[in-house]
Structures are given as C-alpha cells and as structure tokens.
Structure 1
Amino acid sequence: MSETTILTPPETGFEQHAFRGRFNAAFFRVMDPYMEHTLHPRKQRIFAELPPEVVEIGPGVGANLRYLPVGGTLVAIEPNRHMHALLQDAAHRRGVQLDLRERMAEATGLPDDSVECVISSLVLCSVQDPGAVLAEVRRILRPGGTFRFLEHVVAEDGTPTRTAQRILRRPWAWTFEGCSCERDLETAVRAAGFQSVAVERYRLHSPFLPFNTHIAGTARA
C-alpha cells in the first residue's frame, strides 16, 4: 500500500486560485486518457526503466505515475494544492510511495547532488523562471543523473501554429495558470549546463493548435 508524506513550507510563492486551480485539476483528470494516448509513444521511451526514486516537477494529478515501478517513490514538487488529492489517489492506485512537497520548482529544498532522476511533462511552460528551474534540476542531480522531459514549445515563425500561439497567448496563460505556448525550451535546456542533451522535436495533431509543437529528450548532469 502506498503512503503519502506531505511537506508544506510556510510560503511557496504560488498563487492558489480557487477557480483555475479546481478547473485545471478536473481538466487534466478528464483529459488523462486522451493525453496518455497522444503522448504514450514518447513517454514510454523517455521514461523507460525509471529508478526506484524519482523527482517530478509539477506532477499535477499523477499522469506519469504509471511509468514508475510499483513500490517506488515519487518526490512530487507540486505547489498547486488543488492537484494534491487527485495525485494522492493516483499514487495509492499505482502502488507508489508519495513524498509530496508543496514547493515551487525553482526551490525544491532537496540537497545538492542527491537525485538520480528528475522528470517533467508539460510543466516548464508554466513555471515562473525556466532557467532557474533548470539550474535547480542540475543542482539536485548527482553526476551522471538524468533529467527526462516532454514539453510543448514555440512553433516556427510564419506557421499557422505560431500565429495561433500569438493570438491565444493571454487567454491560454490565464486559463492554464501561467502556461506559455511561446517558450523556446529546447534552447533553454541546451543552455542550462548539462553534460549532454538529446532532444527530439515532433508535432501532435490535436485540436489544441497552440499545443501541437513538442520536444522530448534527456539531459545528463
């Protein structure tokens, strides 16, 4: 049976918005089967053979718990309290121990060089400072550790997707709690000082046009 440990610092710096928080928790729970079907081929490869303990920044409602080994531990850096109950339920169903920390990804509170693997999916789009988050990931990863990620990114200039991203950026960001569909996250990861970075660019064909340009990859500390 899974157990949950919750660490809540006095201040996370995250705005707990009653409407958007509840909406996003419900939205991602309802959309989980569709998102899993859409992203599974890349997730299956990027998250293959995860170690027994994994740190995830922004696990939300637990979409990636299915890739952790049964009996493993997820150190969940999740500041949005509206996600917590669903994340705890998902961890219990999957048989994963949950170490839930209500913190921002820019300041995980974990020791230097203490983590073998950090994962993220659809998270760097919404953090306040992607560069600071990537620096934090590097800080906590031990030498040789991996950061495995799947993220949606800015499209090339002049494409219909880029036009849609530009037009919808404000309502998109408001609805999805700061999510930007205009970030060049591949450049950010490559500039973060990892020893090696392997990135695949790909495109989804979903009705959510601003969301359709993606990267998946692994960065090694």
Structure 2
Amino acid sequence: MTEPTTIAPLASEFDQHPLRGRFNAAFFEAMDSYIERTLRPHKEKVFARLPRDVVEIGPGVGANLRYLPTGARLIAIEPNRYMHSRLLSAAADRGVTVDVRDRMAEQTGLPDHSVDSVISSLVLCSVQEPAAVLAEIRRILRPGGTFRFVEHVAAESRTPTRAAQRILRRPWAWTFEGCSCERDLERSIRDAGFDTVSVERYRIHSPFLPFNTQIAGIARA
C-alpha cells in the first residue's frame, strides 16, 4: 500500500515570488506534453531503470514521475510552493509517494551517502550555485550512485542561438525564476569530482530558441 505523502517544513531562503511562482507552476503544467515529446528520447536513456527510491532536484509539477516505477518513493527538493499541489496530485495518479522538501538544492538536509540516485531536468540552469548543488549531490550519493540529468546549456559562441541567449538573458531569468541560458553545465558537472561522467550534447528545435542547446547524461559517484 502506498505510504501517505508528506511535506517537510520550510527550510530554505528561496525568494518566493507570488507572480512568477504561480506563472511557472501553470506554465510547466500546460507545457508538460510538449516538453515531454521534445525531450523523451533523451530522458528515456538517462532515466532508464531508476531505483524505487529517488531524489529529484526541482521536480516542479512532476514531469519526471512517469520515469519512476510504480510504488516508488520520491524525495522532492522543490522550493517553489506553488508547484507542490500539482506535484502531489500527479504523484497520486501514478502511484508514487512523494516527500516534498521545501528547500534549496544547495542544502538538501539528507545524510551523507544515503541515496542511490539523484535526477534533475531543466533545473541546474536556475539554481543559485551550480557547483554547490553538484557538491551536495555528490555528498548524498552512495559510492557508485548516479546523478542523471537533462539540462539546457549555453550554445557555441558566435551562433544565432548564443546571440539570442545573450539578448534575452534578463527577461528570461526574471520570468523563469533565475534561469540562465548561458551556463556551461557540462564543464560544471565534469569538474564536480564524480568518478565518471557520460554526456550527450544535442539540439532540439523549438520556438524557445535560448532553450534549444542541451545535454543529457549520467555521472557516477
């Protein structure tokens, strides 16, 4: 029988903006099918055969619940409270127990070497300190545990996509709660001290030009 879902007390310094928070919750719920169709081939590779217990950094409204086995338990590190009700509803529909931690990803509050897998998608672009988040992920992973990620990154220099990322960086960041289109997240992950890192670089074709250069991969502790 599925255990009851809980929400841990607020324990973060996330700047909860009532307009942007509500907008992002509604936006990602409305765009779920489109984003899923666009990213499914890459998510299917890196999220294959996830264990029953998973930590997700920034699960939002639950886009990745479909990759968890039925009866799984998700520890959700999600500081945007406007996402919580949608996440819990989606989890109940899929038979997944969710423990929502209302925290920032730099400090999950989880014990050292306590989890087998951490996942993220379209999240490292918006955390305050990517290096600190990656260090935290390494801290909580057991030896041999995996960090699996699908993220959008800075385009090659002197390309139209890179120019669009630069031009739109301020309104994009304001709208999407700090999201940066200009981070070299592959380098950040490779420099984070994981034992092995496997990364695929690819491009999608969407109207959201700054979002179109991406990476997916698995880092092993």
The TM-score, its normalising length taken from structure 2, stands at 0.98
Secondary structure in 1 matching 2:6: strand
Gapped regions of structure 2 (runs ≥ 5): none
Match of 2:175 in 1: 175
- Cα deviation, 1:147-170, whole Å, max 9, x if unaligned, reads 000000000000000000000000
Whether the 8 Å contact between 1:3 and 1:92 is mirrored in structure 2 is no
Match of 2:114 in 1: 114
Following the alignment from structure 1 to structure 2, what is the Cα–Cα distance between the partners of residues 220 and 135? 13
Secondary structure in 1 matching 2:31: helix
Following the alignment from structure 2 to structure 1, what is the Cα–Cα distance between the partners of residues 167 and 140? 37
CA-CA distance at 1:5 after TM superposition = 1.2
Is residue 2:1 matched to residue 1:6?
no
Match of 2:53 in 1: 53
Secondary structure in 1 matching 2:168: helix
- Cα deviation, 1:187-213, whole Å, max 9, x if unaligned, reads 000000000000000000000000000
Match of 1:195 in 2: 195
| Residue identity opposite 1:73 in structure 2 | R
| Residue identity opposite 1:141 in structure 2 | L
Whether the 8 Å contact between 1:202 and 1:215 is mirrored in structure 2 is yes
Following the alignment from structure 2 to structure 1, what is the Cα–Cα distance between the partners of residues 54 and 204? 27
Is residue 2:161 matched to residue 1:161?
yes
Gapped regions of structure 1 (runs ≥ 5): none
| Residue identity opposite 1:71 in structure 2 | G
CA-CA distance at 1:107 after TM superposition = 0.1
The TM-score, its normalising length taken from structure 1, stands at 0.98
CA-CA distance at 1:3 after TM superposition = 2.6
- Cα deviation, 1:67-114, whole Å, max 9, x if unaligned, reads 000001000000010000000001000100111100100000000000
Hey, which bits of structure 1, 4+ residues long, moved more than 6 A? Answer: none
- Cα deviation, 1:104-156, whole Å, max 9, x if unaligned, reads 00000000000100000000000000000000000000000000000000000
Following the alignment from structure 1 to structure 2, what is the Cα–Cα distance between the partners of residues 220 and 200? 15
Match of 2:220 in 1: 220
Following the alignment from structure 1 to structure 2, what is the Cα–Cα distance between the partners of residues 76 and 179? 19
Match of 2:29 in 1: 29
Match of 1:93 in 2: 93
Following the alignment from structure 1 to structure 2, what is the Cα–Cα distance between the partners of residues 128 and 63? 22
How many pairs were matched up?
Answer: 220
Q: Against the structure 1 CA distance between its residues 205 and 2, is the aligned structure 2 distance closer, same or farther, given a 3 Å change threshold?
A: farther
Following the alignment from structure 2 to structure 1, what is the Cα–Cα distance between the partners of residues 173 and 4? 34
Whether the 8 Å contact between 1:54 and 1:74 is mirrored in structure 2 is yes
Range that drifts further, 11-20 or 105-114: 11-20
CA-CA distance at 1:2 after TM superposition = 5.8
Following the alignment from structure 1 to structure 2, what is the Cα–Cα distance between the partners of residues 2 and 200? 36
Whether the 8 Å contact between 1:201 and 1:215 is mirrored in structure 2 is yes
Following the alignment from structure 2 to structure 1, what is the Cα–Cα distance between the partners of residues 3 and 87? 12
Following the alignment from structure 1 to structure 2, what is the Cα–Cα distance between the partners of residues 47 and 199? 13
Following the alignment from structure 1 to structure 2, what is the Cα–Cα distance between the partners of residues 106 and 203? 28
Match of 2:149 in 1: 149
Q: Once the two structures are aligned, what percentage of the paired residues are identical?
A: 72
